[in-house]
Structure 1
Amino acid sequence: MLDCLGVIHTDIISVWNFHDPSAYISSEEFRNQIINMVAKVDAPTGSSPASTNLTRSDTFSGPLPLITATIVILPFVAGLALVRWVNESYQRLQNVHPKFMAYIVDLTHVLNILFALKGNEGGKSLTRREIKLAFNAYYTSPWMAQVHESIRQFRHTITDRDEIIEKIEELVLASDREAHVTSAIKGIPSVDLEQDEEWYG
């Protein structure tokens, strides 16, 4: 499963053609962040990252304090043993499709926000700060909650691969995606995007 997710990740990030000489968006740290976010697709209906109080050892507590933060705090710490869902889903292949769907859609939406955040600075190298801001903007947004709820409500049989692909396309190419990106960008404070920082402070 991790090999499959790795191929999916590489294929998706290559489409965006970011100037990323340090390979931040292909790094294990960023992949683990997406994997951890995807695990939230199993959250009960009605719960959301913004309304769930979790300790810093797992995720952030309440809205992220980005406005005054020098270092952007990611909601997950490094090395969570690749999350239990990878192994659990592998043991229950009938239920693995929501995670793959969420991985594709979540990663694409984070990169969409990152692309908009870069604006006309596409020629400049990506920084971890930019990636973290884009990740957090999506993670705390109603957009992610809507996507995960839609995936949870999706019903099909294991043989209906076309239906799964169609659902992914529907979520990725939704007509309101630009509005969601704009809303997410507005929530990001004005900080020095060129200043880099470690993944975890």
Structure 2
Amino acid sequence: MDTPDLKSDLIGHLDRLNEAVLHKLDGLTEYDLRRPMTPTSTNLLGVTLHLASLQAEYFGTTFGRPFPREGELYFLTDDDADPQDDLWVRPESTSAWVIDLYRASWEHAQETFAPLALDAPGRIPTSRHAEVTLGGMLVHMVDETARHAGHMDVVRELIDGAVGRYAGDGNIIDGYDWAAHRDRVEAGARDAQERAGS
């Protein structure tokens, strides 16, 4: 695979992951978008804000193109911000604002990609591993976004049972009896525990 094709492939993967993130937000109430679903407070809207801030920084200032809405990311400008402030959304901030910010950060990123080669150098202003390339940052964000999209898959399923990366996801068997499958897996887990004798 030559370099231009690899760049397009990485951008394409990240584009599909961005769509998967947004799909996980569809049709939920403000409460369900924000409610903490794990002991560390993982929530759908917070993960989306986190990814928006990473896209803004890694494909903005890192390559000399500051994200125009960076000032809206209060945790980047507040010296007293809690380290987890980018993983939850304050009540006065709307979900529409987060979604718009996420989309805008991706549009800005795509404008950054257009003229640059994969080996184009960049410098992350907030990292001790500051010297990077566009290719390295694309790989990093594909990994980062896929990881968080997986978190969002689990959280969304816990909220309302919705599964799949997008509407009509071919990996999800239409009409499958998930309740029976869950019972079978639970029974197998209990049986394995008894066989282990503990």
Report TM bin, short chain: 0.3 to 0.5
Q: TM-score, normalised by structure 2?
A: 0.34
Q: TM-score, normalised by structure 1?
A: 0.34
- Which has the larger Rg? 2
